[in-house]
Structure 1
Amino acid sequence: MPESSSVDKPLLLKGGTIVNHDVTFKADVLIHDGIIQAIGEELSCPSDTRVVDVSHKLLLPGGVDLDCHIGVADSFDPVADNYVSAGKAALLGGTTTIVNTINAHPDRSLISTIHSEAALRCFIEQRRMCRGLLYGQTSVSAIAAPLVAINSNDCANGVFTSSKDWATAASYVNCPPLRPDVQLSQKLLTHLISEDLVSVGSGHRAITTAVRATFGLKNPLKIPHGIAALGCRMIVLWRHGVESGSLDPCTFVKVTSTNPARLMNLYPQKGRIAVGSDADIIIWSNSFKQENFKNIFPNDVPNIFTVTTSSYQSGPEMVLLRGRIVVENNELLDDACCGVLLTSQPFSQYVYGRVNAVEKNVNSEYTPLSREPYMGNVANDAPVDNSDHSKEGYYFRKEYFDNMPKEALPPGQRKIHTSVKTAQPPGGSSNAFWMNE
């Protein structure tokens, strides 16, 4: 996606309702040079400002996805898309920041994986095609359950893996596997509400059917696992979370945008609509209509949501990336911006703040307090211990360990010594057979 050379004009979003992770309010938003310049009502704008009426619509921060697998297909990570195709799918789904996951295999270190020859060739090829890349750098392994697991009740009850068509069944092999259990979806939503889960990632890993056949046609155990869900994450979660009443819009923003940005030390540059933040904004509309997400992914990349009969009535009507409109009416504009490399500092306080506080408290050295010696009188009347601590030298009596108190024993029952292992039950002795000859 080559970068446009046109000069950005001021843009005013008028009449919308801003939704952040902690507050919702109605205000206008003035954007210029890719930054939010002002928020309020009756704002003073330059004469060449473009005004977009967003009345009765929500303004959400652009989504941040921490669980993506993007690159060139090879024997170690056979994914099908690159940063260009993945970036387009992300923008159509309302995600403006994606973080690529680097898998370090047992025989390869993380540094060797990043600096491999294949990665270098991929980087050179991407630099030749465009002047920027859309990806981030991660330092935290955030909790990111695949969206299909959270919304498994939207799946067709296991029709994917139980299909008699090999291509259909192999296209939906994933780890963790697809689960059509509705109760699992509700449990995951409950964990989102209680903040046990702080972030929702797509688990995006697009793999073509041809690549799956190359690896696993003869041995199903070698089928590469992964599903394409980068452009579906926010739309599907809104329907099954917000529209069902399980999540409120603020919590939705928190788990899809704010918390991921905090994990990457990108907040409040990302994940919030505020003065000084990047103008990555989604105009969320309730008149949005999406049938099966076929416009998001290529035809050779199966999508789990393409076979569902559900239609989505809420979604991103317009998407702004650094103040530039890149998606309008569910269509990617021709002059869509390319991505830029985001640099962030490691050791986010959102993750390590509590850990550092605990370590500081544990490792703190307490200064010993010096006291003057006690020079007063000491009483001679020490308490007398009348308890008998004498121990039997050879054995312990069974009565010490009986489960039943002695007061509760029936009349006539003996106190049996520990050397006696058995006793006759009431009524006399018994034999192993019914009859004695």
Structure 2
Amino acid sequence: MSHRRESGAVPPWVVPEPSPRKRTSQSEIHQEDTQNSRLSNDGRHVPGPETAEEKRKSLASGETHENQRFQSQNQYLHIIGGEIVNNDCMQKANLLIENGKILFVGKRLDVPKNIPTIDASDLLIMPGGIDIGTYIQNDTFDFDENGYASTIKEALLGGTTTLVDTVICPRGRLPVDMLCRQKNRTKNCKLWCNIVYRVGLLEINDAILDQFELLVKQHDVNSFLFFVSGHEETNGSKGISPSGIKRALLKCRQLGALALIRNVAAWSSTDSPVFDSNISSETSEKKTIELAMQLAEVSNCPVVLTSPSNPAAVEETVRFRRQLPPVHVQVTCTPGVLMPTLVNGRQHPSQFLPYLTTGDIMAVSSDQAGTNRPMGSARLGAVGQRLVTVWEAGVPSGWLDPTAFVSVVSANAARYTGLYPYKGRISPGSDADLVLWPSNSLTQPGTGRPIMVLLRGHVMAREGKLADCSTEVGPYVTVDGSPQETNEPQPSGEVLKTQPFPMPVYSAVLATDRLRRRYPTSTGTEAWSMKVLTGELDPCIPTADTVTESEPQGTSLPAVGPVTTVPKPSEPGESFGVRMVHGHRDLHASGFSLSGAQVDDNRPQRSGIRTSQPPGGQSRNPLW
């Protein structure tokens, strides 16, 4: 082979030196500016996109494209000195908000000049609260436009920035008509919070089930509330019967919606005009829980049991959720059950707090019914006192830490409504719905309250009042150290759209479906065993192919006594998920078991070969 190179070729072992950088003189810069400029049709001098002199000044000042991006007409807010609290961590960091979205989170942020700044020293910065269960606008209660706006404003002042409002469909009406009516009625109302719509049903029939798909795909509804009676429908029953709720859960599972179940008796005890209050609450609640567990296991639909009145209900859901395969069921409670109770003049702690600590109760909802403000002790459970009540009941006493508090009042509700992480979390890309909380309330009971509430980066409330110019409390908004006057806040809430199949919920549901399709024998209530999961031994349930034991051949008499059927032994090669080469032990595809069992253990192994050749006889194998 010839190794000759062409004339002028550079050998591969020669490293070329970089050419020296050319220095641009002032005359060349002026000539480049002249070439970049141009004349328009009317004779005006129009400069080029960026002259060389501007480039030189930009490079000399150290500006980058990241800094140049801040020069656009965007609305910024810089929060410094606070401690950010999410459901999984706490960190000391600053926030930069751009147009209602969190842009950066960190300690040393590159921020533009002359932007509003809030000093959040000694304050906790938490995501805005999400109330997963309210019943504010319904025909069952007296609807008033002003009362509706004031109720939503009260929720905002209390630190709640998103409400999940349930539109209850009366008997004989269709849910699509009721939802459209409620949306049109509140179109002109002042929305101080974000609103998510849910549909509540009192009955199930074919006409209502046919509208489920329309509600999910066109009206952005991904959750339904069912009022269950716990027994078959009769003339005196007021809720949905077990047969009806089973059809509804299967439909929700098909469409990727979340099913919420509420006991009729518990709803009757809240002085609601929907049902009569002559139902035994404890008996009906027990039947409702048993029904919900059984149907959730059959349909594999995620279910949320709302507002139980007895801790035994939570224990029952915990037992079903921890079995194998698990039942996807969660529990929500109201703030009122978290406060201590007085029995014979003695104060007793709440029995629901331990379940809130362990995560067995995933969220706390206000269950605000109508626009009437409760009085007395019921005031603690109102929509505006939800965050304060949960904080005072759990955090100073040590039952909850700030991260767990964020989980039960915001993050978990955002997961189950499909809004996470845009809601319920402080991270780049999330909505700037924030609540500033005093950090000294961690150890001082009675001081927990929202100091400041922000909705999409706008200061809406300070110390329980609207953040107008007359409010002289709370952290100030400053520009270069000088206080800035706060504009009067305007209602900026929106109706949020939710999508089906929220993955924080349905990821586990889909995984259970895959396991049930792969291992059809493990659909009982007993725990899954290793032999069922690996498919190494015989299946637990007999197959359709059976073998009948009879008399030996040669006798014509029928078998005496009952005929017993035994399952046909499956061949090792027929075991699903196991690749088998007949005649050999397949060590790669036989699986792993702590017991050391193999798929061909039922076959005897030949430890050696015995030959019949006499000593000194003819043998083709020299080893014999």
TM surpasses 0.5:
yes
1:99 aligns with 2:164: yes
Question: 1:340 aligns to what?
Answer: 494
1:314 aligns with 2:314: no
Specify the code of the residue in structure 2 equivalent to 1:194: T
| 1:371 positional shift | 5.7
1:352 aligns with 2:412: no
CA RMSD of aligned residues (A): 3.5
Question: 2:366 aligns to what?
Answer: 202
> Does the 8 Å contact 1:18/1:59 carry over to 2?
yes
| 1:84 positional shift | 2.0
CA 286–24 in structure 1, closer or farther in 2 if over 3 Å, else same: closer
1:149 aligns with 2:365: no
> Does the 8 Å contact 1:21/1:253 carry over to 2?
yes
Could you say which structure has the greater relative contact order, defined with CA pairs below 8 angstroms and 6 or more residues apart?
1
| 1:341 positional shift | 1.5
Specify the code of the residue in structure 1 equivalent to 2:386: R
| 1:125 positional shift | 4.3
SS at match of 1:316: coil
Question: 2:97 aligns to what?
Answer: 31
Identity of aligned residues (%): 31
Taking the TM superposition and a 5 Å limit, the aligned residue runs for 1:37-436 are 37-71=103-137, 74=139, 76-78=140-142, 83-115=148-180, 120=181, 122-130=182-190, 134-138=194-198, 139=223, 140=258, 141=260, 142=304, 143-153=331-341, 182-183=348-349, 185=350, 187-206=351-370, 208=372, 229-286=382-439, 312-333=446-467, 334-364=488-518, 366=576, 372=582
| 1:123 positional shift | 3.4
Cα separation, 2, equivalents of 1:312 and 1:378: 76
CA 64–209 in structure 1, closer or farther in 2 if over 3 Å, else same: closer
Cα separation, 2, equivalents of 1:278 and 1:11: 13
Task: Give a deviation string over 1:103-129, Cα, whole Å, max 9, x none.
Answer: 3445444334324xxxx2x53343234
Cα separation, 2, equivalents of 1:128 and 1:283: 30
Task: Give a deviation string over 1:202-251, Cα, whole Å, max 9, x none.
Answer: 111245499x9xxxxxxxxxxxx999611111111111100111101110
Which is higher, the Rg of structure 1 or of structure 2?
A: 2
CA 279–109 in structure 1, closer or farther in 2 if over 3 Å, else same: same
| 1:369 positional shift | 5.3
Moved more, 63-72 or 334-343: 334-343
CA 10–88 in structure 1, closer or farther in 2 if over 3 Å, else same: same
| 1:343 positional shift | 1.2
Q: TM-score by structure 1 length? A: 0.62
Cα separation, 1, equivalents of 2:388 and 2:75: 29
CA 370–209 in structure 1, closer or farther in 2 if over 3 Å, else same: closer
CA 232–193 in structure 1, closer or farther in 2 if over 3 Å, else same: same
Specify the code of the residue in structure 2 equivalent to 1:241: G
Gapped runs of 5+ residues in structure 1? 1-6, 160-179, 213-224, 289-310, 380-437
Q: TM-score by structure 2 length? A: 0.44
SS at match of 1:343: coil
CA 226–316 in structure 1, closer or farther in 2 if over 3 Å, else same: closer
Structure number with the higher strand fraction is 2
SS at match of 1:127: coil
Cα separation, 2, equivalents of 1:133 and 1:191: 29
Cα separation, 2, equivalents of 1:320 and 1:209: 24
SS at match of 1:98: strand
CA 24–8 in structure 1, closer or farther in 2 if over 3 Å, else same: same
Task: Give a deviation string over 1:1-52, Cα, whole Å, max 9, x none.
Answer: xxxxxx9731111100011111111011111200111111232222221111
> Does the 8 Å contact 2:373/2:379 carry over to 1?
no
SS at match of 2:196: coil
How many residues align structurally?
307
> Does the 8 Å contact 1:9/1:48 carry over to 2?
no
